[in-house]
Amino acid sequence: MPTKYAVRTSILSKRWRYSWMFVTNLDFDDIHIDPIHIVDRALESYQMSKVELFRVHFSKIRAPESKVSSWIDWAVRLNVRELDIHVIRLELPLSLLTCKTLTKLSIGLSGRRYNVLGPQSPVNLPCLKTLDIVLWKTPFLIAFNLIHGCPVIEDLSLEVKDCGDEKLFKYNIPTLKRLKLTYAYVINDVKNTVVLNVPNLEYLFVGGVLYSSFVMEDLSSLIEASVSIRETTDCSLLVDLLKGISGVQSLSLQYFPHRQRLPVFSNTKHLELKDLWEPKLIPKLLDRFPRLQHLCIEKPKECLWRDPKWVPACIRTSLTTLKFSKCNGRKYDMELLKYLLRNAEVLKTVTITWEDLHKEEKRRFAAQMHNFLRAF
């Protein structure tokens, strides 16, 4: 943009100064030159009596902790409602820990230092409903200190880069409706226990590296679950986790311990199988879902296919919707589709999206799908 036009649209220019007074959402990242100076100048020029959203994402530059702390304190004094801070180093001001207007808080660290909360820092966030945290060392001391100060929290997302040597984590949160737990990796070979006492929880996500055993004390309201495990130290941990959520109506899976016997998901009507699935394992899995109605398969992993000599009950009696995404037309894709389509007796809707195929290839494979259906 030519300089003369850039000046005209600057938030600090005379033409924009009046409009700038009505801006309530502030969003900064580090793609600009000297972003710290930009934030300082913007806050100095801010004329509104409140700010709705204050977001700072600096993953490439190391903003001084005192500087970030002063920005957060400024937002708190203007009764901020949503605060989203992702930086390399961070020290939260005490004013944030007792903010009466905050409804959503997101904290993320690109570095390993987190010098902010401890037992001597009481938290009282009476309006906070959404908490999203990404932490490194001693994360649960920090996270639970925040959680315990949020009496109406409904949505919690916790990503742990390194959990240290903690052994027991109990989530006793009666107001919680959505919980997302992600473990990036484990530096030490530590196994711990996660206890869930969340009677109003409706959605649960567990992802990353699984090294924890789960104890489900109360998941009586759980409707939907998603398990996206990259690796696990013990497949029995995953089986136990699946047993604890076997009553859900909707399930998304990205890892299948095929040598383990899975529980029966008698209430599940919607199943989503994401990346890395071997087509030959899918019939075995579907046998554990007797009432399945909707099946979504995303880009199966290449493998040899052997047409099973049996058909799971759900394929014949209850499967009404099939969605197959990122299909590339390879033999194992087509054989799996052929098996499903020829055996699905109550199927009503089929949706297939193709990946990296020319128009003529798509037409040819679509004709094959039609033949599979006609053969039934």
Q: What is the pLDDT of residues 278-306, one digit of tens each?
A: 788 888 899 999 999 999 998 777 777 77
Whether residue 265 is predicted with pLDDT greater than 90 in this model: the reply is yes
Predicted confidence (pLDDT) at residue 351 exceeds the cutoff of 60: yes
Which of the two residues, 280 and 28, has the higher pLDDT score? 28
Q: How confident is the model at residue 376 (pLDDT cuts 50, 70, 90)?
A: very low
pLDDT at 16 over 80: no
Q: Which residue has the higher pLDDT, 25 or 60?
A: 25
Mean pLDDT estimate for the chain: 84
**Mean per-residue pLDDT for 207-223?**
91
Per-residue b/e over 129-147, b at no fewer than 16 CB within 10 Å?
bbbbbbbbbbbbebbbbbb
Distance CA(220)–CA(224), nearest Å, equals: 12
What is the pLDDT, as a whole number, of residue 375? 45
pLDDT confidence bin for 331, thresholds 50/70/90: confident
* Under 8 Å between Cβ of 49 and 78: yes
What are the pLDDT digits (tens) for 96-136?
999 999 999 999 876 555 545 444 678 999 999 999 988 76
Confidence of residue 88 (pLDDT cuts 50, 70, 90): confident
- Per-residue pLDDT at 223 exceeds 70: yes
pLDDT band (50, 70, 90) for residue 195: very high
374 pLDDT above the threshold of 50: no
Burial track 4-34 (b if 16+ CB lie within 10 A, e otherwise): eeeeeeeeeeeebeeebeeeeebebebeeee
Give the pLDDT score at 112.
56
pLDDT for position 122 = 84
Residue 5 pLDDT > 60: no
